[in-house]
């Protein structure tokens, strides 16, 4: 497949993009002191070098009231210009265009200020923001005018920093959308009421920005074609607004997405997880393309070039947003253009280290490609000073990454896996409903090893004696973990099984099941979905304060909504104590008072893992270099395993 359309040039306002692939604005948390950093430069340059046609940088605050979190870059001070100029020059060096995103969250205030206090949540009208639980203060007219000028002044700074244009962020229920939405805008002045008035804030932003940046720069608009929530803008309302902007020849393009930050249901579309169909926003973009004359960009789970080519062939959009695809594989454009489709490291939409890192205030990364966000340290492989014989024991994600990196650096690497298939626990993850795509991490890492020249031996059980006899220079132990079963009072009188047995269909569960969940992760939720879809009554009892606390919220929230719809019952703060023939007993985690689940046929225990340490124990006194990584070091997740593999593979 030659991707003729995907790699055809495209122009907006006389500025040409070398192809139709772009990276949409997304917060990296690589800023420091609210200013761009060298790490941010390296991050964007990696994607420009990788072949993207356009990069839209992350949301940039246009006014001091535009506080979202401490890592949001500041665009309303001249101090931002040198850092943004460094990014622009690094991107332009690779024949890639760059557009800066202008942002005011309005009432969508998620963060706490550096002094620990909460910022004021400004908006068009008084209301209660549902998701972040804030009270909205109506903007006085003077502040509206000041913020509009802030958009224009920030745009001027980005153009001074040598950007090709700017994009007004009006999607996901942020401030311009709040003015547009009649349910959040109850004003009775010239900014409220009929559509013309509710559009005024956005049109005045456009006009002020255009005056500042001139006629030769791009001014685009990011918009949710449907906010997908009861209180949000519906598709027809958005179409009416975009038609009005189009007829007035305002904005050069519409960058189309879905969802709203205002509710958990709407927010699930901001970064849709693997349960959502790929390319699902394209039909919404197509409608705007049919109804307006603006250039149309589209995003939304487009993780392979075939999907992008399909959207272009159907004339649903003019440019294709492949944002997480490029977080996972910065070289996806170059690989696609070169016909190296098997080499693409496809995004699996797990959301764990990209938007998941944002949720825990850590810099962006990827569980499959931890080099992302760490380009300054790991962006370029450094050849080993001298090749060494490396034995990797364990073929899960951590072992595979360690082997690939070490071999790529010039070491002689052999990986041994006890099972007949590579993948470790990732093979379990893909067996649960809606998690099938997780198996992509195995395919992708297998390809990395193949390209690096790793010798892979499956069905090979390695002991300490065998290691000593083989005599490698370095041993990397990636033997993983086994399922942990805690002591359960009365277990012999009850039907008790562990999570792995259920996932692998090795046991039969009764009609009424209780899941004891200690991890608060995808296993508990996945087990609940599997069992309830099999027709069983399911109660998920977790030691945490809520189910799925360790699952990224754009994945967790819609998942729990679906489980609730299916009838799963949730009990938080539940510490497993014991069981008998028909009842499971818990203690409340804060009061130690008893919690009982009567009428239970089967107890499924999902209480975490324990490291397999036989090999590391057996080599404790060996005088050669030994490293334990992943769950063999400490039971965690695939993210830590792959990162451990990168670090060890880079250091030996």
Active-site residues, by number, are: 174
DSSP letters for 70-105: TTSPB-SSGGGHHHHHHHHHHHHTTT-EEEEEEE--
Residue from 472, 391, 388, 369 nearest 652 by CA: 388
CA distance 257 to 519: 33
CB atoms within 10 A of CB 304: 18
Helix or strand (DSSP H, E) at 313: helix 305-313
Q: By the 8 A CB rule, do 172 and 114 touch?
A: no
Burial of residue 313 (CB within 10 Å: 0-12, 13-18, 19+) is exposed
φ, ψ of residue 87 to 5 degrees: the values are -65, -50
CA distance 433 to 435: 5
Burial of residue 386 (CB within 10 Å: 0-12, 13-18, 19+) is exposed
Q: By the 8 A CB rule, do 46 and 330 touch?
A: yes
SS3 513: strand
Cα 429 to Cα 96, 396, 522, distances in angstroms: 38, 12, 8
Q: By the 8 A CB rule, do 227 and 260 touch?
A: yes
Q: By the 8 A CB rule, do 254 and 221 touch?
A: yes
Burial of residue 143 (CB within 10 Å: 0-12, 13-18, 19+) is middle
How far is C-alpha 469 from the geometric centre of its chain's CA atoms? 44
Residue 15 pairs in a beta bridge with 12
CA distance 467 to 475: 8
SS3 390: strand
Residue 576 pairs in a beta bridge with 586
CB atoms within 10 A of CB 254: 27
Burial of residue 280 (CB within 10 Å: 0-12, 13-18, 19+) is middle
φ, ψ of residue 319 to 5 degrees: the values are -140, 150
Q: Any residues with CB less than 8 A from the CB of 456 and at least 6 apart, and which?
A: 395, 403, 414, 415, 417, 422, 449
Residue from 519, 487, 535 nearest 631 by CA: 519
């Amino acid at each position: 497949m030659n991707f003729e359309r995907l790699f055809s040039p495209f122009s907006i306002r006389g500025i040409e993009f070398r192809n139709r692939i772009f990276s949409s604005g997304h917060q990296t948390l690589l800023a420091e002191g609210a200013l761009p950093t060298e790490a941010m430069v390296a991050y964007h340059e990696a994607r420009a070098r990788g072949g993207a046609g356009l990069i839209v940088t992350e949301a940039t605050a246009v006014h001091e009231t535009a506080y979202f979190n401490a890592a949001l870059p500041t665009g309303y001070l001249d101090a931002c210009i040198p850092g943004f100029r460094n990014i622009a020059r690094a991107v332009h060096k690779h024949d890639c265009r760059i557009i800066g995103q202008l942002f005011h969250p309005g009432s969508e205030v998620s963060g706490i200020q550096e002094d620990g206090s909460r910022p004021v949540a400004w908006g068009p009208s008084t209301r209660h923001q549902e998701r972040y639980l804030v009270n909205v203060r109506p903007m006085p007219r003077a502040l509206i005018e000041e913020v509009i000028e802030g958009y224009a002044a920030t745009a001027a700074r980005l153009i001074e920093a040598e950007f090709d244009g700017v994009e007004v962020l009006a999607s996901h229920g942020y401030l311009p959308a709040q003015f547009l939405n009649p349910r959040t805008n109850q004003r009775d002045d010239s900014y409220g009421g009929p559509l013309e008035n509710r559009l005024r804030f956005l049109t005045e932003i456009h006009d002020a920005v255009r005056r500042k940046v001139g006629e030769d720069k791009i001014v685009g608009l990011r918009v949710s074609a449907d906010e997908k929530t009861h209180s949000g803008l519906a598709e027809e309302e958005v179409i009416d607004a975009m038609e009005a902007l189009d007829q007035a020849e305002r904005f050069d393009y519409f960058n189309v997405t879905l969802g709203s930050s205002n509710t958990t249901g709407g927010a699930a579309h901001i970064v849709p997880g693997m349960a959502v169909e790929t390319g699902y926003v394209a039909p919404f973009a197509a409608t705007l393309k049919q109804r307006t004359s603006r250039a149309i960009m589209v995003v939304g789970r487009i993780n392979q070039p075939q999907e992008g080519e399909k959207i272009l062939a159907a004339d649903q959009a003019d440019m294709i947003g492949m944002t997480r695809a490029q977080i996972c594989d910065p070289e996806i454009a170059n690989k696609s253009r070169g016909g190296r489709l098997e080499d693409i490291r496809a995004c699996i939409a797990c959301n764990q280290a990209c938007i998941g890192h944002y949720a825990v205030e850590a810099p962006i990364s990827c569980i499959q490609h931890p080099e992302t966000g760490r380009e300054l340290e790991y962006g370029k492989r450094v050849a080993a000073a001298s090749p060494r014989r490396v034995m990797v024991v364990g073929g899960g994600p951590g072992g595979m990454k360690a082997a690939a990196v070490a071999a790529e650096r010039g070491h002689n690497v052999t990986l041994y896996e006890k099972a007949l298939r590579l993948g470790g626990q990732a093979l379990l993850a893909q067996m649960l409903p809606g998690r099938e795509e997780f198996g992509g991490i195995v395919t992708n890492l297998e390809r990395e090893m193949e390209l690096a020249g790793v010798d892979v031996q499956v069905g090979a059980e390695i002991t300490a004696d065998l290691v000593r006899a083989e005599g490698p220079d370095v041993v990397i132990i990636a033997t993983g973990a086994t399922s942990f079963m805690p002591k359960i009072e009365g277990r012999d009188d009850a039907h008790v099984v562990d999570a792995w047995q259920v996932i692998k269909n090795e046991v039969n569960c009764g009609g009424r099941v209780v899941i004891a969940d200690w991890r608060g992760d995808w296993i508990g939720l996945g087990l609940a979905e599997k069992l309830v879809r099999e027709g069983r009554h399911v109660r998920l009892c977790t030691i945490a304060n809520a189910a799925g606390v360790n699952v990224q919220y754009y994945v967790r929230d819609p998942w729990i909504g679906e489980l609730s719809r299916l009838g799963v019952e949730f009990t938080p703060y539940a510490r497993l104590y014991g069981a008998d023939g028909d009842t499971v007993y818990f203690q409340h985690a804060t009061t130690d008072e008893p919690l009982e689940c009567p009428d239970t046929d089967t107890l499924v225990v999902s209480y975490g893992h324990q490291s397999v340490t036989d090999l590391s124990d057996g080599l404790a006194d060996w005088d050669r270099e030994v490293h334990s990584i992943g769950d063999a070091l400490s039971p965690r997740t695939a993210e830590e395993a792959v990162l451990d593999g990168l670090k060890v593979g880079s250091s030996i």
